[in-house]
Amino acid sequence: MLQPLSISSIIQVLSELFRSNIERADTIMTKKDQSLEQKKHDMSVRSINFSRYLMIRYFSAAFLFTNLFWLVFAICYKDIVASIISGLLFVLLLVASVEQVSKWNVRNTDLKFTKLYYQLQLVANVIFAIGCYLPFGKVLFPFMATNDVANVIFTILVVGILGSILILRRISNIQNGRDKYARAIKTFESNRQ
């Protein structure tokens, strides 16, 4: 035989059910919050890591357009030697740029194509700077008609030499973990926010 339920017992049972559901919901929300916080933290670490290569990407963009303009001028002047050299530097820089962009997904600090490109660009710029004032400079830069143009090209090449040295030093610091971002990443990872 069923006993009649009192209102107080019904309220007590309902309040227990309600309380247990709230506790379960809090547990689920806490796990979701922790998962969201973990994703935010991982994205922050990824962004800081990608920022390590920012200066390299800016210099790469400058070299990319410089080599592209040189290639266009060489083609317009129908200079095969200058077209091949500038085209080769342009393609190698595209490969290095792909390597740099891949650092968003890949956490290692290996930059072998970028390093190879900047070493090659450094050697090329030194040879080209010397060649500005020698007879074979006209082969490299067919648009170099006067000494004023040679001076402008020489200045651009010297800036390229200094930029290449700076980038090679930056790559070395990144690969050896001596850049300021490496310390920031370690600190940020150890202090999960």
Reading the chain (193 residues) residue by residue, the pLDDT tens digits are: 556 666 777 677 667 766 777 666 666 656 677 777 778 877 877 888 888 899 999 999 999 999 999 999 999 999 999 999 999 999 999 999 999 999 888 888 889 999 999 999 999 999 999 999 998 888 889 888 888 999 999 999 999 999 999 999 999 999 998 888 888 778 777 776 5
Q: Does residue 162 lie in a domain region? A: yes
pLDDT of residue 85: 96
Closest CA to 173 of 101, 130, 109: 109
pLDDT of residue 5: 61
Q: Does residue 2 lie in a domain region? A: no
Q: Does residue 186 lie in a domain region? A: yes
Q: State the CATH number of the domain containing residue 145.
A: 1.20.120
Domains held by the chain: number: 1
Q: Does residue 3 lie in a domain region? A: no
Q: Do 120 and 92 contact (CB within 8 A), yes or no?
A: yes
Q: Does residue 154 lie in a domain region? A: yes
Query: 178: Cβ–Cβ under 8 A, 6 or more apart, which residues?
Result: 172
Q: Does residue 12 lie in a domain region? A: no
Domain span at residue 108?
54-190
Q: Does residue 83 lie in a domain region? A: yes
Could you tell me what percentage of the chain is helix, strand and coil, using 3-state DSSP and rounding each to the nearest 5? 80, 0, 20
Q: Does residue 49 lie in a domain region? A: no
